[in-house]
Amino acid sequence: MSVAVREAPVVVPDAPAAVNDFAINVATANGSGSQTSNGVLLRALFKMGIPINGKNLFPSNIQGLPTWYIIRLSKDGFLARREMTDIQVCMNGRTVAEDMERVVPGGIVIYDDSLPVANNRKDVTYYAMPVKDLVKEAGLPHALRDYVANMVYVGVLAELLGIEPAEIEAALLHHFEGKEKAAGLNMAMVERAIEWTSGHDMRNESYRVERMTGFNEGKILVDGNTAGALGALAGGLSLASWYPITPSSSLAESIEKYAPALRTDPDTDKATVAVIQAEDELSAIGMVVGAGWTGARAMTCTSGPGISLMSEFAGLAYFAEVPAVIWDIQRMGPSTGLPTRTSQGDIHASYYLGHGDTRHVVLFPANPAECFEFGRVAFDLAEELQTLVFVLSDLDLGMNMHISEPFEYSDAPFRRGKVLSAEDLEERQGSWGRYMDVDGDGVAYRTLPGTRHNMAAYFTRGTGHNEYGYYSERPEDWEQNLERLKRKFETARQMVPPPILDEVDGADVGIISLGSNHDGVEEARARLAATGLTTNYLRLRALPIDESVRSFIDRNKTVFVIEANSDGQLHSILTTEEPAQALKLVSMAKCDGLPLSARYIAEQVRKALEEELI
C-alpha cells in the first residue's frame, strides 16, 4: 500500500488554500441513517453559494458494511472526486485505519469518542465527539436517538467550519419536505452539537467555509437519475417498464414519483403515462418493444446484468426497426461485479448488443442537464430512426448529487419520424413497402397498428424480409436490407448530438472523453495548463461518431482516450472506425469503481508524453 502523500497543490496560485477548498470524508456504516445528515450538509453548503459535489461510496449491502460520503468544496468550481481527505469524520470503527491513510498532513479528524481511534498521527488534529452523551442531552425521545446521532457531526462541522445554522435548518426542512416536526428534532440535535463545539474552543485556522457568489446562482442540485426521469416525462414518455437493479432503480422510481404531478391529464384526471415493474429485464424490454411498435414512446432503465438479458430484444428492435430506449446506468462488471460502484464498462456491450451485425445509437450524457435533455432526444432519435437508442449514464452521474443548470422547458413538437396515416395511405392508394428506402436515407415509412385503412397492416418479424416485410431468404433481399440498415446508420451519424469541442490555440495534445469523466478531465486540463501543457478536448456525446471526431484527431499529434473501464472500450471503437488515425490514439482506461480523479488523469497524460519523448 502506498503511503499517504499530500496531493499536488491546487491549481490557482495565491489562493488562500483552505477557504471553500477542501474535501470532507464522512465514514459511516451502511444503514445508520447518514444519508440525511450528508445530504443536509451538502445542501447547506450549496445554498451558501459554494461549488460542491457529493459522492456516496456505498456497499452492496443493506446494513453494516462501510459507507463513505465525500463532499468536495471548490471555490474554483472543480468538482471531480478528490483522492485525499482534509477533514475526516469517523463514525465507523471498522474503517478508521484506512480512513486515516487518506488524511492529508495538517488535516482534521473528528471521531465518535466511543470508537477505537488511536491518535497516533502527529500531523493531524483530532477531535473526539461525545456522540452518545450529546444525543442523550438533546432530550429527544428514545426511539429517535439512533436516527439523529449523525446530526452530531453536522453540528460539529458547522461550528468548526462556519456553516450557517440557518442553511442547515433550511436544508432539513427541504429534506423532510416541509415537515417541521421532523426537521425540528434533527435541528435540536445539530444545535446541541454546535453549542458543545463552541464551548470547547475547536475553531481551527486552516479550514473555513464562507458564503460566496458567482457560481451557484440560478443552479439546482440534483442527481442524474432524477434528471433523466424528468427529461423522459417531459419528452413524451408513455410507458416505462423496469426491473429493480442498482444504480438504475432510482430512475424508474423518480418517474413514478413525478408522474402524478407532471403527467396527469388535467381534463380527465387520468394518467398519460404507465410505469410497470416487470418480472425481469426480458419482459421490461419486451414491453418497450411492443409499445414502441404500437406507436408509443417507451423506455426501460437497467444496468449491466439487465443489458445482458435484453440482448435478444436489442437485435430484434434493430432488425425489425422498432423504436425503443434503454437507459443503462452503468456499474462495475463483469458479472454481478461491484454493484454499487461506478464504471463505463458497457460501451461495447451497448454499441454492439445483439447477435449478427448490429450497432446501436448510444448517447453519453455528462451532467444532469444533459440527462434531462437526452430524456427527450433519445425518443426523438428512436422514432426518427426507428431503432433502439441507448442512454449510457453511470452510477456517479445517476446517483450522486451534482450542481446543474436548471432544466429548460420545451414545447417544440416531438419528432415522431416517418409514420403514414390512413390519409397518407389513401393518397398513395395503399402502395407502400415497410422496408422500402423511398427517401434514400435508409429510413423507411411505417404505419401504426390501429390505422384505419385496409392497406395499413404489415407483418413485423425478426426473420429475413424483403422491402414489403414478407418473409424472404433470398440473398439479394438480405443484402439489400442490411445495406439499407448501414445507410440508416450513416444517417444516424448526422443526427445524434455532436461532440463538444474545447480547443486551445497552439495545443497539439488532444483528449477524447465522455460522460461523467468531464469534471475530472476539466480539472486535469487546468492542472496541466498551469504547468504549461495545454490540451484540446473533445467530449463525445454519442455513437456513432461523426466527421468532427476525425478532424479533431487530425488536428492533434496525440489524442488520449480517457474512460472508466479497463479494456479501453471507446478507444477500440475509435480505432476500428478511424483506422487511419489509430496510432495517434492512446488509451487511458482506468476502472477501480471510483470516478476518475483529476490527479490521475493529469499524471497519466504527463507520464505518457514524457515517456514518448524519451
Q: Name which of residues 169 to 208 contact another protein (CB under 8 A).
A: 174
| DSSP at 563 | E
Q: Where are the alpha helices (DSSP H) in 57-126?
A: 96-101
**Which is nearer to another protein, 85 or 311 (by Cβ)?**
311
Q: How far is the CB of 23 from another protein (least distance, A)?
A: 24
Strand partners, 563: 589
CA 533: distance to chain centroid? Answer: 29
**Which is nearer to another protein, 381 or 528 (by Cβ)?**
381
Query: Of 494-513, which residues contact another protein (CB under 8 A)?
Result: none
Cβ count near 230 (within 10 Å): 20
Q: Say whether residue 308 binds another protein (CB under 8 A).
A: no
Q: How far is the CB of 180 from another protein (least distance, A)?
A: 17
**Which is nearer to another protein, 272 or 604 (by Cβ)?**
272
Q: How far is the CB of 361 from another protein (least distance, A)?
A: 20
Q: How far is the CB of 274 from another protein (least distance, A)?
A: 5
Selected from 204, 246, 294, 472, the binder of another protein by CB under 8 A is 294
**Which is nearer to another protein, 328 or 383 (by Cβ)?**
383
Q: How far is the CB of 74 from another protein (least distance, A)?
A: 21
Q: How far is the CB of 281 from another protein (least distance, A)?
A: 10
In this structure, the chain runs to a length of 614
Q: Where are the alpha helices (DSSP H) in 324-367?
A: 347-351
Q: How far is the CB of 327 from another protein (least distance, A)?
A: 16
Q: How far apart are CA 540 and CA 556, in angstroms?
A: 16
Q: How far apart are CA 490 and CA 486, in angstroms?
A: 6
**Which is nearer to another protein, 235 or 499 (by Cβ)?**
235
Q: Is 515 in a helix, a strand, or coil?
A: helix
Query: Of 311-340, which residues contact another protein (CB under 8 A)?
Result: 312-313, 316, 320
CB contact at 8 A, 339 and 60: yes
**Which is nearer to another protein, 229 or 553 (by Cβ)?**
229
Report how far apart the first and last C-alpha atoms of the chain are (Å, whole number).
29
Selected from 126, 176, 258, 489, the binder of another protein by CB under 8 A is 258
Interface with another protein (CB under 8 A), residue total 76
Q: Which three cell numbers stand for residue 544?
A: 456513432
Query: Of 214-253, which residues contact another protein (CB under 8 A)?
Result: 219-222, 226, 230, 233-239, 241
Query: Of 267-286, which residues contact another protein (CB under 8 A)?
Result: 268, 270-274, 276, 278-280, 282-286
**Which is nearer to another protein, 86 or 253 (by Cβ)?**
253
Query: Of 398-457, which residues contact another protein (CB under 8 A)?
Result: 406-407, 409, 411, 413-414, 447-454, 456-457
**Which is nearer to another protein, 91 or 320 (by Cβ)?**
320
Q: Is 222 in a helix, a strand, or coil?
A: strand
Q: What contacts 24+ positions apart, CB below 8 Å, involve 11-19?
A: 11/76, 11/78, 11/523, 11/526, 11/527, 11/530, 12/76, 13/530, 15/75, 15/76, 18/86, 18/206, 18/207, 18/208, 19/75, 19/208, 19/209, 19/210
Phi/psi of residue 286, nearest 5 degrees: -60, -40
Q: How far apart are CA 510 and CA 576, in angstroms?
A: 19
Binding mask 529-558 for another protein (x = CB under 8 A): ------------------------------
Q: How far apart are CA 227 and CA 255, in angstroms?
A: 10
* Choices 62-70, 254-262, 474-482, 516-524; region in contact with another protein by CB under 8 A: 254-262
Binding mask 121-160 for another protein (x = CB under 8 A): ----------------------------------------
**Which is nearer to another protein, 13 or 266 (by Cβ)?**
266
**Which is nearer to another protein, 291 or 507 (by Cβ)?**
291
Q: How far is the CB of 242 from another protein (least distance, A)?
A: 13
Cβ count near 548 (within 10 Å): 14
**Which is nearer to another protein, 310 or 596 (by Cβ)?**
310
Q: Which three cell numbers stand for residue 484?
A: 439499407
| DSSP at 336 | T
Selected from 293, 351, 374, 432, the binder of another protein by CB under 8 A is 293
**Which is nearer to another protein, 125 or 294 (by Cβ)?**
294
Residue found under cell 483529476: 598
Measured at the CA of 291, the angle between CA 289 and CA 297, to 5 degrees, comes to: 100
Residues 6+ apart with CB under 8 A from 97: none
**Which is nearer to another protein, 428 or 461 (by Cβ)?**
461
Q: How far is the CB of 521 from another protein (least distance, A)?
A: 26
Burial class, 56, CB count within 10 angstroms (exposed 0-12 / middle 13-18 / buried 19+): buried
**Which is nearer to another protein, 161 or 389 (by Cβ)?**
389
Q: Is 248 in a helix, a strand, or coil?
A: coil
Q: How far is the CB of 293 from another protein (least distance, A)?
A: 6
Of 71, 53, 55, 58, which is closest to residue 32 (Cα–Cα)?
Answer: 58
Q: How far apart are CA 56 and CA 68, in angstroms?
A: 6
Query: Of 572-601, which residues contact another protein (CB under 8 A)?
Result: none
Selected from 102, 263, 341, 541, the binder of another protein by CB under 8 A is 263
Q: How far is the CB of 450 from another protein (least distance, A)?
A: 5
Of 599, 609, 540, which is closest to residue 569 (Cα–Cα)?
Answer: 540
CA 366: distance to chain centroid? Answer: 7
